[in-house]
Every structure is written in C-alpha cells, then in structure tokens.
Amino acid sequence: MIIGFHEKKEKRLLTLSFYVAGLFVFVALGFALITHSGAILFDGIYSLIAFFMALLTLKVANLVQMPDDDRFHFGYTAIEPTLNLFKSLIIIATCLYAVVGSITSLLTGGNSAEYGLAMIYGAIATIGCFAISAYMKHQSSSLRSDLVGVDARTWFVDGVLSVSILLGFALAYFIEQTRFSAYAPLVDPILLILLGTAILPIPGKIMLDSLKEVINKAPPEAVTAVIEKKLKQTLVAVPYEHVEVRISKRGRDLYILVHIIVDESFSVATISELDDIRISCEAAMREWDPSIIMDILFIKDARLAG
C-alpha cells in the first residue's frame, strides 16, 4: 500500500535541513578554529552529526513512501522510528563525550577563547537554528512525518546550544574586563558541561518514544480509548457482543487490528457484505485520521480474539 500524503513537502523540508546543516558545519568549525572554543567545536560537531543524519533521513523519507513488497510485507514505515532512535543515541553519546571532556579541561585550568568573535558566532547560530526549527515545525503541522518533527526538535536543541554559547561568552567577555579575568577560561568548559547535561532530556525523550514504536508497544491508554470509541461509532449498524482492538504505531502509520465478536443476530448472505462493512469502517476511520491502517476480522468464538 502506498502512503498517500504530502511526500514532496516532506522531502523539500528535509532537503532544506540538509543544506542548512552543511552550512552550519562550515560556519561552526571555522569559528571554533579562530576562537579556540570547545563549546563552539561541540556545536560544530553537533551540526556535523545533524548533516549526516539529514542525509540518512532523506534516504529514509524515500523508503517510507514505497509500497509493501516481498521483503517488507508491512511496508518500510518501521524504519522511521528506528532512524529516530539511532539519531537520539548519537546525540546522547555526543553530549556525554562533551561533558566528560569539559570536566577534564576544567580540572586542568579551563580553556581561553576569543570571546568577542565567539559572541558573534553565538548570535548568528542562535538566530539561524531557531529560525529553521520554527519554520520546519510550522510547515510540518499538516504532515504525518516523525522525521520532520524530530528534525525540528534537533534544530531546537542546536538553538539552545547556540543561545547558551552566546550568553556564556558574553559573561566570559565581561569577566575578562574585570580583576577576575583569571577565571574567564573556566567559562568555556563550565558552559559545555551545563549545555551537555541540560539538553540530554530532549534526545532522551525521542529515544524512549522511538523505542516504544520499534518494540511495537501500544500507544497510551488515553489515545487507544479515543480510537476505540471512534471505531465503535462506525459499527453502529453491526450487531456485535464485543470489539477487541489492538493498536500499534509504526512511524507515521497507526495500525489497528480489530476482532468483531458478532452476536447471534448477525447474518450475511455473501462475503461481499463483510467487505462492505470493512470498507465503510476503514473509510470513516481514515477520514478521521489518515494515518490509520486497519484489518478487520469477524468471529463468533471470543477465544479466537485472545
């Protein structure tokens, strides 16, 4: 089954993210060499990771549009949360590495930097990262794309890094003008420690959400209850004793397996009548939420739904 939604818009957003990430790599690494700042170097490495992840994301965006085949009977959408899980783990590892390196730097006296130039970089990077994050978040509001959503959050994390760099180096620049200038080199590693630990919850949440999809965990009960209520509204003309619903989210798809346990009054003359019920039910559900994919089974013995 082909996934029908705004795939061109998704690819356009991801391509934009790819090129902007590439630009930020050159800008960040260039400023890191000039200013000798570990915090800017960390930001540049983060941008480099974002660049390669954007390249991989574009490939995955093409894959998830493909129909199911002999190799992937349920399509390629499961690759989406797998990629997001991988992204989050890379970001977490980068943050932890930066924190450990900064602690070592702090214990050896800190790291001096060109704070004036570092502030210029912080201003440019802050505006750029938050702008691209806000743009992608706004443009993705009509898309069923976790890839774009995670990319927007990744840029937001980069923006937090950049604004922290700006504020930190503004503080260091001020300290350098005072009699406490000997403490200015401590700002860079302290800033990096604070940055690395502060942003960990964001990739941590992405990791947990993606892991739930990878292992096929059901959505929260509040979500499943709404889906079940809507489903039963589409079955008002069907005499049944009970409806057993199993739900799993795989990337942009919400898969629903429905066992309708019919009662004694349920009767059909042909299989086509069952098909009509299935078609009507799925059409109503997909009109409510286009991400839904359904399989509906009619049974009499409740044990078969266990």
Q: What is the distance between the alpha carbons of residues 219 and 283, in angstroms, rounded to a whole number?
A: 22
Rounded to 5 degrees, what are φ and ψ at 66?
A: -75, 150
Q: In the prediction, which pLDDT does 169 show?
A: 81
CA distance 289 to 283: 10
CA proximity to 260, closest of 234, 283, 292: 234
pLDDT band at 306 (very low <50, low <70, confident <90, very high): low
C-alpha to C-alpha distance for 217 and 213, rounded to whole angstroms: 6
User: Is the pLDDT higher at 245 or at 216?
Assistant: 245
* Range name among 21-30, 142-151, 241-250, 276-285 with the lowest pLDDT average: 142-151
pLDDT of residue 4: 42
Is residue 2 over pLDDT 60? no
CATH number, span 221-305: 3.30.70.1350
What residue type is 147 in one-letter code? L
Q: Read off the pLDDT of residues 94-122 as tens digits, 9 standing for 90 and up.
A: 788 878 877 887 887 776 777 788 888 88
Confidence label for 127 from pLDDT (cuts 50, 70 and 90): very high
Write the pLDDT tens digit of every residue in 176-228: 888 888 888 887 778 778 877 887 888 888 888 888 888 877 778 888 888 88
Q: Is 256 left (phi over 0), alpha (psi -120 to 50) or beta?
A: beta
End-to-end, the C-alpha distance of the chain in Å comes to 27
The ranges assigned to domains in the chain are 7-214, 221-305
CATH class of residue range 7-214: mainly alpha
**Distance, CA of 48 to CA of 142 (rounded, Å):** 28
Confidence of residue 137 (pLDDT cuts 50, 70, 90): confident
- Closest to 195 in 3D by CA, of 96, 124, 278: 96
CATH topology of 7-214 equal to that of 221-305? no
Of residues 85, 60, 53, the one with CA closest to residue 205: 85
